[in-house]
Amino acid sequence: MKSASFFLLLLAGLPGALHAQTTADSLRQRGELTGARPSGDLLARPHAPASARRAAAPSADPFQQHLLGTQVNLAQAVASQLPDLYESFIGTTRAERRSWSYTDWDAASQVLARLNQRYEQVRTDLPLEERIRIRSFQGEFHTLRGARSVKEKFD
């Protein structure tokens, strides 16, 4: 009798577990689930299909070029370039964040997502110190974005 009750309880929780898994998978595919919490805006707003986002060449994005301080195709960036790219990204974010609109934050999040995707592909080629440094840059971006959201709610 106990095993039958346990089995029914297990079956009842299955749909919820499947939904949680597909949500995590979709975040991982968008590059938002790489060791940091996804931002609330990403969960609240619908996104363009992945095929539409991939249509434009990532290296042709002028906002990406501005944030990174160089024109680089992130899909082909080598591991040794990533720490400097993250540092340029977060440096520009720190300097300009106060004047950014939601559109700017979304564009910066897309650039970070592309950086994170490449990081996941080559992270084993980086020394531990560089991986920790990159993780701190990722966390700082999400903190700055969250602080902006909180500030606007109080204003």
**Residues 81-133 pLDDT 10s:** 999 999 999 999 999 999 999 999 999 999 999 999 999 999 999 999 999 99
| 53 located within any domain | no
Q: What is the mean pLDDT of residues 127-146?
A: 96
| 34 located within any domain | no
Residue type, 73: N
| 22 located within any domain | no
CA gap 107, 142 in Å, rounded: 13
| 7 located within any domain | no
Stated pTM of the model: 0.64
CA gap 74, 82 in Å, rounded: 9
| 114 located within any domain | yes
| 115 located within any domain | yes
Q: Is the dihedral of CA 52, 56, 62, 65 positive or negative?
A: positive
CA gap 42, 113 in Å, rounded: 11
| 92 located within any domain | yes
Q: What is the mean pLDDT of residues 13-41?
A: 54
Per the structure, the complete domain to which residue 121 belongs is given by 59-154
* DSSP states along the chain: -HHHHHHHHHHHHHHHHHHHHHHHHHHHHTT--SSSPPPHHHHHS----HHHHHHS-GGG-HHHHHHHTS---GGG--GGGHHHHHHHHHHHHHHHGGG--HHHHHHHHHHHHHHHHHHHHHGGGS-HHHHHHHHHHHHHHHHHHHHHHHHHHH-
Please tell me the total count of domains within the chain. Answer: 1
Q: Is the dihedral of CA 150, 62, 71, 40 positive or negative?
A: positive
| 46 located within any domain | no
Q: Please check whether residue 69 is in contact with residue 56, taking contact to mean a CB–CB distance below 8 angstroms.
A: no
Give the model confidence (pLDDT) of 65-75 as tens digits: 999 999 999 99
